[in-house]
Amino acid sequence: MLVPGLSSPPSGKPDQVWTKFPILTCLNQPDMNIPQLKTHFAQGKVLFNMLLSSGDPFFAEITGRSGFPSVMIDMQHGLQHADRLLPILQALPDSVIPLVRIPWNDPAAAMKALDAGAAGVVCPMINNATEAQAFVQACHYPPKGIRSFGPIRAQYLGQQPDYFASARDHFLTAVMIETAQALEDIDAIAALEGLDMLYAGPFDLSVSLQRPQRANFQDPVLIAALERILEAARAAGKYTAVFTVNEADARRAIDMGFNMVSYGTDTGLFAKTVQHAIQQLQGFIAQP
């Protein structure tokens, strides 16, 4: 995470503030396409991911060059709309896997994200297998789905000579399990052909389960729900993901066995960094 470190003033120079700013360079991590990502998961490796909520291509570029191998452009709660999707995708380095969370279970939104070059589409607030099936069909071309052919940007990405023939190998489909209803139908959802990943949303899930605290990774009821998602996914041969907002929860998610762990948002981490900086600066002011 890009957090400027503020060191204490050197001895004998109390009025001098020394700052250490990291140089922003791409970490030169190897490009990872979806087939390679599946191999990555099969080897038991974890993919780290950050949500992009600001709607700003520059924030996206900074995040992509700061070491995160994957991002999720959040069009559900984030500030970006359809007209910002393309600039954000274009700002990301080729080494970063770009996922898109669409606003709702809307076929047009899923198709638009894939045509623009998303490597994966995440659908929020799925309640049952019927809803999940509708989303999956929107992502796949006939005869397995209803996606309309028109990969306006996606056809120019990667090395595939025939996008239509190879499209299935170059994107992921994920549904968010974040309601009590979805938990009740979890096995049927996980069994769907053409669905790759179950993505646990602990905030809405804890609200739906009427827990006293949101996304509390110490809550045994929430942990049991997350374990149930993992169990269903493993039985069906699907990947798993979960959203976290702090290091302790991310570590817990890794230990539980999630394939992908999302950590915070660009706006949230920016706010934390600003708060940390001003607290450090204020610490240099002598108290009366």
Please identify every residue annotated as catalytic.
Answer: 77
Neighbours of 33 (CB within 10 A): 17
Distance separating the N- and C-terminal Cα atoms of the chain: 35
Q: Packing angle between helix 220-236 and helix 247-256, nearest 10 degrees?
A: 40
DSSP E strand boundaries for the chain: 5-6, 19-20, 47-52, 70-74, 97-101, 120-126, 172-177, 197-200, 239-244, 260-265
What are 205's two structure tokens?
A: 């899930």
What are 176's two structure tokens?
A: 């968010």
SS3 48: strand
At 34, the amino acid letter reads: I
Q: Residue 99: CB partners within 8 Å, gap ≥ 6? A: 49, 70, 71, 72, 73, 118, 119, 120, 121, 122, 172, 174
CA 37, 38, 44, 48 torsion: positive or negative?
positive
CA atoms within 13 A of residue 131's CA, in its CB half-sphere:
18
90 touches 157 (CB < 8 A): no
Task: Quote the CA–CA distance of 283 and 286 in Å, as a whole number.
Answer: 8
